[in-house]
Chain A
Amino acid sequence: MTLADVVAAAMFLGVIAYALLGGADFGSGFYDLTAGSSRRGGNLRTLIDHSIGPVWEANHVWLIYILVIWWTGFPAAFAAATTTLFIPLALALAGIVLRGASFAFRKYAATLAQARLFGAIFAGSSLITPFFLGTVAGAVASGRVPADGYGDRVRSWLNPTSLTGGALAVATCIFLAGVFLTADADRAGLVELSEQLRRRTLGVGVATGAVIFAGLYPVWHDAPVLRRGLVGTALPLLVIAAVAGTLTLVLVYRRRYSVARFSAASAVGAVVAGWGVGQYPWLLVDQATIQDAAGAHATLAGLLVVVALAGVVVLPPLGYLFWLTQTASWTRS
């Protein structure tokens, strides 16, 4: 394990955290989008507002964390990825910007018509963003980002592995959000809403599992390096994902929502970790290993100090925020 490996691992922890915390946040857009007419969906939309309001844009700290470590620790690989993949990255960014703004606008919209417009933009961009970030992951994992950058601007992210990555990102977000929203509704004593969300989460869970394991097929043929990793070192993680995912469905079915949140997060975390472990030691598959791409030694050492400081300064308040929003105290205020 070299210094570069440690920094890359710290960066990848950010990827997992963003997939879990940002994912639960993004996925709520799906339930907002499909909540039905303004009369039928009013309750669910209010719940979503209440659930993600306090963490609103907080989860994007992980994206910033990832980008800054990537940029400073592995600058050449960062340049290669951004010059090749700037279309999906720009679209993901547009989604993040539109999503945050329209979520806030909807909360204070004067009329129902305005709230509908902003709500549709919020919900739509909530799904667009993870999709395009997923295609970026697919491009990296299938070796379509050349080490010198300026790869194919379109085919680098419009290919079987990228589309699988996009679908997977969207599906896991929806699955996580379903479990968390059901738990929220249950905690708030909204029986009708939690029952409705429970049914939908069960459906979404089955579909997500299907997407993940069906996604192995295009990856099998399109991304040989990732395939070797997935059946090799990353296999235990895939098993954990399958077990935790199934366990989540059982727990949701038996209405044990607050425990289900942990198994759902474990399942999604294991899937994301499986990708990272599967493509190790490559940073850009087939193009640059973590060693090749590493920047100056002093920068990497400095980054580790920053990561440690950020851990001390940022994690406790963030943990407190989640504790507040995920326990009864926030629900009752």
Chain B
Amino acid sequence: LGGLLIDGEVRWALVIPRLGSVIARNSLTAPVPGLDTVPPSERPPVNITHLAFQSMVAVGTLLAVSVAIYWLTRWRGYDLLGNRWFLRFASIAGLLAIVALECGWIATEVGRQPWTVWQVLRTKDAANPWSGLWWSYIGVLIVYLGMTVGAYVVLRSMARRWRGGEEDLPSPYGPADTTVPTVETVSSEESRG
């Protein structure tokens, strides 16, 4: 558990005997095929994959345990919703869930390198050989950064207006003082008449 691969050696890891065999092979003694069975040229970036996977599991466990603790204390007659530190934790739990999700993607996508399709197609053979690929990568980055900013701005403003007591959040297609009727008002007048 934990640890880093440095110069081909695992350091600072917590060694738990037999548990890996139980999880992966349903046995106390069966060996789990390790990285040493994979030729060095076919190994993924080990530490990124390893840390991403362990972070995902750690965050997932933390979130599950916090829910269990909440219900346990509630069952024992203490409401954690009155606890500032628990609420602080709850407010970052959403962010942690995203972190876990992204870590999971990093673990699978980095972990399957150098293959795009395992033992069939290598990533370097699957990629378009054109050197301008960097430009499309930069373009995608810019588009998605822009959309992230847009989503953030709009979602924050919606939350602010909801907190302010607004319910409908009308779309600002024209100046606020517009006197021309909108589709909704006209059609509702019609159905009344």
Which A residues contact B (CB, under 8 angstroms)?
38-39, 41-43, 45-47, 49-50, 83, 86, 90, 94, 97-98, 101-102, 105-112, 114-115, 118-119, 150, 153, 188-190, 331-333
Within 8 A of A (CB), among B110-162: 128-130, 132, 136, 139-140, 143, 147, 150-151, 153-154, 157-158, 160-161
Q: Which of the 9-residue segments B44-52, B67-75, B89-97, B172-180 touches chain A?
A: B172-180
B154–A110 CB distance below 8 A: yes
A49 to B173, CA, bound (A): 10
A332–B151 CB distance below 8 A: no
13 further contact pairs, Cβ within 8 A, besides A94-B140, A112-B174, A112-B176: A42-B178, A43-B182, A45-B173, A86-B128, A97-B143, A97-B147, A98-B143, A105-B150, A105-B154, A110-B160, A110-B172, A153-B130, A189-B186
Q: Mark B47-86, 1 if CB is under 8 A from A, else 0.
A: 0000000000000000000000000000000000000000
A118 to B129, CA, bound (A): 35
A110: chain B residues at CB < 8 Å are 153-154, 157-158, 160-161, 172
B139–A90 CB distance below 8 A: yes
A-B contact pairs, 26 of them (CB 8 A): A38-B173, A38-B174, A39-B174, A41-B173, A42-B178, A42-B182, A43-B180, A46-B173, A49-B173, A50-B183, A50-B184, A97-B147, A101-B147, A101-B150, A108-B157, A108-B171, A110-B153, A110-B160, A114-B157, A115-B171, A115-B172, A153-B132, A188-B183, A332-B188, A332-B190, A333-B187
A90–B183 CB distance below 8 A: no
A12 to B132, CA, bound (A): 32
B175–A38 CB distance below 8 A: yes
B143: chain A residues at CB < 8 Å are 94, 97-98
Closest to B189 in A: A189
Within 8 Å of chain A (Cβ to Cβ): is B26?
A: no
Interface size of B as a range: 20 to 34
Within 8 Å of chain A (Cβ to Cβ): is B14?
A: no
A47–B183 CB distance below 8 A: yes
A240 to B155, CA, bound (A): 48
A47 to B151, CA, bound (A): 24
Within 8 Å of chain A (Cβ to Cβ): is B169?
A: yes
A108–B169 CB distance below 8 A: yes
A102–B158 CB distance below 8 A: no
A45: chain B residues at CB < 8 Å are 173-174
Q: Is the interface of A mostly helix, strand, loop or mixed?
A: helix
A-B interface, 9 closest residue pairs, ranked by CB to CB distance from nearest: A42-B174, A110-B157, A42-B173, A45-B173, A115-B172, A112-B172, A332-B191, A105-B154, A46-B182
A210 to B16, CA, bound (A): 76
B175–A49 CB distance below 8 A: no
A43, A97, A189, most chain B CB atoms within 10 A: A43
Q: Which of B129, B151, B169, B180 contacts A42 (CB 8 A)?
A: B180
B178: chain A residues at CB < 8 Å are 39, 42
B187–A331 CB distance below 8 A: yes
B151–A108 CB distance below 8 A: no
B171–A39 CB distance below 8 A: no
B182–A332 CB distance below 8 A: no
B180: chain A residues at CB < 8 Å are 42-43
B153–A114 CB distance below 8 A: yes
A114 to B152, CA, bound (A): 13
Closest to A192 in B: B180
* Nearest-Cβ distance from residue A203 to partner chain B, whole angstroms: 23
Closest to A333 in B: B187
* Nearest-Cβ distance from residue B183 to partner chain A, whole angstroms: 5
A105 to B183, CA, bound (A): 20
Closest to B174 in A: A42
Q: Which of A38, A46, A101, A189 contacts B151 (CB 8 A)?
A: A101
A189: chain B residues at CB < 8 Å are 186-187, 190
* Nearest-Cβ distance from residue A273 to partner chain B, whole angstroms: 33
A39 to B172, CA, bound (A): 10
A109 to B171, CA, bound (A): 7
